[in-house]
Chains A and B, each alone.
Chain A
Amino acid sequence: MSAVISASHLSKWYGNVLGLNDVSLEIEAGITGLLGPNGAGKSTFMKLVTGQMKPNIGFVTVRGRKAWNNPGIFQGIGFCPENDVFYEDMTGGEFVAGLLRFYGYARTEIRDRTARALDLVGLTADQDRLIRGYSRGMRQRIKFAQAVAHDPEIVILDEPLSGLDPLGKRKLIRLIKDFKSQGRTVLVSSHVLPEIEALTSQVVLIHQGKVLAQGDIPYIRDLIESHPHQISVRSGDPRALAARFVGDKSIQKMTFAADGRTLVVETHNRDAFFGRLTGVLLEAGLAVDEISSPDDNLQAVFEYLVGK
């Protein structure tokens, strides 16, 4: 399959700060998740792909055409920026219709496409309200609507699920998956693995401006699961809880925190531990005040992967 988006030795820096470092990537049709902690270089990559920035070294092409200063490519690209920014004095309908003007459509077509896009994201009833009055979820949805209203072949979504409630996330995930089934290319970024996991099995791990790994979810999962996770469970009787886990093979180490109420567990298999924990708590009739996973985040995983 030929690459829709192709990056070759792409580097971008902001003064002394390295945004992207020698990234070579080929993105094919379907959904590709760009996964990395905040500041990893995901947005920089997307800005380079959408021609908002010029690479310092290397180049990026979309369907074989350079992205920088090439407005012609945008007839087939839809971009949803990360920032929660809008022309606040516009209504949702005006915003989508206004941006559709830039594609050269006739008025009737703009009206039809606007109606379709708003219907797609469930904002038809709110199209005449000013965007400044929209909730965070509505703002995310109208941002998505403007990105897809012109039926682009390639959709680039920078953290589209952030700020959405679970129901909103589910709806948007379904919409994005629909795009895939129509044979389009979707590049979506997130710093939350389960979000990407819900969307696609094709993932690019990016950290400190570099691509650490590229592959399908099981491969990334394996990488992540080989990293021991710390999980803290605060309860009235942490020792009783620990006793129940002594023989558990998924556990590598257990310690008690200084407060005397918290059991800190280290495990290679986070899912197995959580699966067992619920049953143990019910069996023992233990009340839990808090469960937290201090390094259950991508930052920790990435640090592990880069060998810190």
Chain B
Amino acid sequence: MKATRAVREVFGFFGGLAWKTGKTRVFALLGLIPVALAVVVRIVLRGRTGDMVAVFTEILMVFFLQFYIVILTLFYGTSITAEETENRTLAYLTTRPVPKPAIILGKYAAYGLLMFAMVAASLIPSYFLLNAGRLGQPEVIKAFFVDLGVLGLGILAYSAFFTFLGTFLKRAIILGLIFGFGWENVIQYFPGSTQRFSVVHYLKSLLPYRPVTGGGGRGVALLLFRLEPTPPLLAVLALTAIAAVFLALACGLFRIKEYLYED
């Protein structure tokens, strides 16, 4: 079977399966948090748009950018290989006439689409609830698509990295947590070129910078702070390169590595 066809078939197999798992239900529930917050803000701040809406939109972006997509990609990315070895189902896949890299790429695509759908299902209602009064303004709609696109790129880049980590290590979750919530959260605030060693730096570089002015937003000012943003085109290229390099590494490693069960 040709590699592209094999990727498509693996995508089809896991595309259907991924939606049914308990893990997906839990993460979908987690995605309701910003929707619930948006509802609360709408009720509490009824009639007050402007700064507070912008600030809260930024808080949502902090949730999505620095928590939701990181946790989603960490669990789905590392599981691309790990769940097959831990559940010992790998033999069902590797004894088929499909190239091993197709298994990685097909699952990556299936899980990537699933994560994007979960993020979109969470972002769309929360965003439009908060901007209900300004939906006629083109920049609000444009900002929504920029936000969604940035989150999509984040999913691609983080997933590829965590896929590689899960293919390389037996217990990748711990290291993934340290990377996602330690390294990423610290390195991005380092001045100079050090910040460029984080994925989130490039994601933030793509977001329109909306300085926090309202009182309620001061608490998140640090999280939104951008030191020296990379130009947008370079940021997109960097994120694409991160995704491509780590996916290629994961595919190469999966092809040559033996996966032995604990016993």
Contact = CB atoms under 8 A, between A and B. Distances in A.
A51 B88 CA distance: 15
Contacts of A86: 89
22 contacts: A51-B95, A52-B91, A53-B258, A53-B260, A72-B97, A77-B95, A79-B91, A79-B95, A81-B91, A83-B91, A85-B87, A85-B89, A87-B89, A98-B17, A99-B92, A99-B96, A101-B9, A102-B10, A102-B93, A102-B96, A102-B97, A104-B9
Given A72-B97, A102-B97, 15 more contacts: A47-B91, A52-B91, A71-B100, A74-B95, A81-B92, A87-B92, A89-B17, A89-B20, A99-B96, A102-B1, A102-B9, A103-B1, A103-B97, A104-B1, A104-B9
Interface in A49-72: 50-54, 69, 71-72
A89 B88 contact: no
Interface string A74-93: 11010101010111011000
Contact of B16 (A50, A73, A77, A98): A98
Given A79-B95, A94-B16, A102 B6 contact: yes
Interface in B111-128: none
Contacts of B94: 51-52
Interface of A: 14, 47, 50-54, 69, 71-75, 77, 79, 81, 83, 85-87, 89-90, 94, 98-99, 101-104, 146
Interface residues of B, number: 30
A47 B261 CA distance: 12
Contacts of A75: 97
Contacts of A72: 97
Contacts of A104: 1, 5, 9, 97
A53 B257 CA distance: 9
Contacts of A146: 92
Contacts of B93: 102
B256 interface: yes
Contacts of A89: 17, 20-21
Nearest to B91: A81
B236 interface: no
Nearest to A72: B97
User: Which of A54, A71, A103 gathers the greatest number of chain B CB atoms within 10 Å?
Assistant: A71
B71 interface: no
B190 interface: no
B209 interface: no
B12 interface: yes
A66 to B, nearest CB: 14
B217 interface: no
